[in-house]
Amino acid sequence: MDSTVFERQPLLAPDPQSISATKIWPLIFNIKKDICRSLDTALSWDQLNASDVNFTVVRPILVKYASLRNLGTVFAFLVVRAHFISSAEGDLAHAHIKMSQASLCELLAIKMLRHFAKNQIELVAVLTVNWHPIAGAPPEVKDAVKKLVGGREDDLDDPASAIEVAIATESKYFLATPLAQTVINDIYTGRVVYTIASTRSLIADNYKQRQIEIYDPKRAPFLDHYRLRVPKYGQILEFLNFTVLLLAFLLCLSSKRYDRINVYELIFMVFSLSFALGEYAASKEHGWQIYMANMWNGFDTAFIAIFLTYFGLRMKGLLSQDDWFSALAFDIMACGACILFPRLAFFAISNNVVILALRGMVVEFIFFILIAAICFSGLLFTLWDLAGGTWTVKNTAWLMIQIWFGNTWLSFNQASSFHPVFGPPLMVIYAAMSNTLLITILISILSNTFARIDQHATQEYLFQFAISTIEGVKSDALFSYQPPFNILAFLLLGPLSLFASPRTLHSVNVFLIRLTSFPILIIISIYEKYLAPGRKFVERSKLRAAALFNSLPRNIRDVPLIEALIGANGTDLLDAIFDVDVDEGHLEPLFAEDDYLDRAHILTQQSIQSDPARSKPASVINVGKELPTAPAQQNPDALRVPPPLPSPRVPRSPGVASGSGGASVAPSGEAGQNRLQKRSQTPATRPMSTGPILMTYEGEPTNYQSPLARLFSSAARRPPRPIDYAPSQVPVEEALIGIKRLEGMIEGLKEDKGAVAKVRSDMKELQERQARIETLLMTLTRGMRGESSGSKSPNL
């Protein structure tokens, strides 16, 4: 987005009065009625984007609701999509139709978003403003909804933005559109600043709500605590905090003591508790559904579960002075390394397709393993009962797991120990199903999952990027504190929020944020005011570095290392060519007429529109015949014939260029233009003739010479007959039209291979007939001249 546009228009979002006055409930139910009436068949996403469906189904609905100019229309389409998705799960008979209707809602939301793209202010507001779904509903509807959701008035106050609903409904096509990604990227980098008032925060500081605005570092305070909520800086701080947590984890395990808690273990506990508090506040703020939509939050939740188990066992071991509980606690905590190490690495490669597909593959794997465990639970009981006490359930299950993962020879060695008759066939059946059938099915499922995610890898990445960005813009006061200061803020602000006024709570909150994050705020402010891209200091430094590099000798500039560090100047040279203002008067004319192609195209279109018969390709062109003499007043359309193609060898006479067959070629230069003007003003008094057109094809010999030409080759020694360069009545424009027609015919023949082959065969047959006729004429002329003929007349 262009920041200059926003600086001229500081008020981006509509005021709260207009938001509350916007009617959303009538939009939702009208959209639902129109969707159900317009689409009653199952269509895929590609079919919904087809031109016929677009003009018959999509466009009428779009025009109808675009005329309202309601900023909540996109939100209403996404809400209706959520309704169709939920109803598809309960109505299996019409599930495909419901999912098609949900896809239609997403498509309409995408197209509706384009209607607000002309105004960048509205585009940001449409996606980020929180709308109330029941705004504009009648009182009886509100009462009915209140009874369904819990019966309290606070349950109706649950606004949401269009981006949040798109995440909840997994509208990946919508979130991957350039318009949505532009707004999301501006939110991520901090160019668009807005806060959301929420009622589900642990500590809600809603005293000073800022409207959506464009951040201007020149007018911003030096210690701007709102910059801690920018997702870009939040991810950097999260990476640093996670690194500190991993170091505390390693130091804790390397210096563990069962009898007491040392310094490293205390640091690890404090950072882990602050990490768990931040994740709990995030899940409470956005809801569990949106929180778990981010694949990395699954890893964080697993680590929190491991830490809480460790913490409980460790406290029990310290209180009871039992080292067994402490040893078990440390063993469980050591299992957390399986999550912490990959989680830290995923910060750098989060957009890789393998990482994006990992979550889906893990879910499919766990689901398949649970189904397999349920299926083989009956076999487990059968083998345990047949063993008669020689095998325990634990040992039998462990044996079956080993066979499942490839140790098939164990099934044959231990089969008889279960039962001499039923043991071997049961183990053989289990080994065949587990190693041959089910493993093959599992590999196929995982391969299909990876292929499906790989096909939509870009959309999946943008979907995860949208989730992480919206999670970064949180209104909970705890998110502005870095671990472990969020625990301190929770202990201080939590009780204070119960009896203090909103103004007092806000003042204390801002003071604590600036106090605990003082170095971070200074670094962010210095970076945005002086070191960010586009600042004067950076631009001046680039200019000085470029000037210094250009002042170096060429042999030093061409050193590969220096060129790689500073960058080659080839691209800069190409850009500089087009940045220079060029006066068209200084351009050297390359052609006689600059608008040659434009005039020919316009005249061709005018000729086709004036005479519909000219749009049809000519099948036969008569060449070699004389045209009748016509006066200047004759209809010019009667003389419009395609001029012949010029021969590669052009004989020249003084001042005139000619082609083979007597066809004149348009002269160039001012003298040629004057001559053409004089010719167009002179009436035609002599017949105009056209020579034969020589057409050559691939594979045909170009040096073909007929018998008649060989017979009269001696005539070439005679003085050539003067060529009649009579001025043609066909102007230059008509000649260009003829050339264009011939080019079109040739292109059509090239594209139609069957027609080309047919023309080749016809031309070959005509050449053979011409050769026979010329041979007969040669025999007859020799007899007339009294020459002896050594050959008989050919059979025609």
Peptide bond into 484 cis (omega under 30): yes
What integer pLDDT is reported at residue 408 of this predicted model? Answer: 72
Percent of the chain clearing pLDDT 70 (strictly above): 70
Closest by CA position to 2, among listed 575, 534, 579, 536: 534
Confidence of residue 568 (pLDDT cuts 50, 70, 90): low
226 compared with 15, residue with greater pLDDT:
226
Lookup: tokens for 218? 């020149």
Residues constituting the chain: 796
Query: pLDDT tens digits, residue range 738-790?
Result: 677 777 777 666 666 666 677 778 888 888 888 888 888 777 777 665 554 44
pLDDT value of residue 435: 75
pLDDT average, residue stretch 561-583: 65
pLDDT(484) > 80 = yes
Residue 71, SS3?
coil
Confidence of residue 329 (pLDDT cuts 50, 70, 90): very high
Please state the rounded mean pLDDT for residues 434-456.
79
Contacts of 37 (CB under 8 A, 6+ apart): none
Distance, in Å, from the CA atom of 636 to the CA atom of 27, rounded to the nearest integer, reads: 64
* Measured distance CA(102)–CA(79) in Å, rounded: 10
* Per-residue pLDDT at 238: 86
Q: Is 501 left (phi over 0), alpha (psi -120 to 50) or beta?
A: beta
Amino acid symbol at 636: P
- Mean pLDDT, to the nearest integer, of 113-139? 86
How much is the pLDDT for 367? 85
Rounded Cα–Cα distance for residues 217 and 189 (Å): 13
What residues contact 709, with CB distance under 8 A and at least 6 apart? 774
Computed on alpha carbons and rounded to an integer, the radius of gyration of the chain in Å comes to 42
- Residue 700 has a pLDDT of 42
Write the Ramachandran bin of 159: left for phi over 0, alpha for psi from -120 to 50, otherwise beta.
Answer: beta
CA distance 281 to 287: 10
Q: What is the mean pLDDT of the chain?
A: 75
Q: What is the pTM of this model?
A: 0.63
Which range (27-31, 242-246, 419-423) has the least confidence?
419-423
> What mean pLDDT is predicted for residues 2-31?
66
Q: Are 472 and 291 in contact (CB under 8 A)?
A: no
Three-class secondary structure of residue 618 per DSSP: coil
Contact 466, 184 (CB under 8 A): yes
State the pLDDT confidence band at 331, using cuts at 50, 70 and 90.
Answer: very high
In which band, very low, low, confident or very high, does the pLDDT at 624 lie, cut at 50, 70 and 90?
A: very low
Stronger pLDDT, 570 or 134, i.e. the higher one:
134
Domain extent listing, the chain = 3-189, 353-455, 538-580, 593-613+639-644+724-762
- DSSP run (H or E) holding 240: helix 231-254
Alpha-carbon gap, residue 695 to 621, rounded angstroms: 13
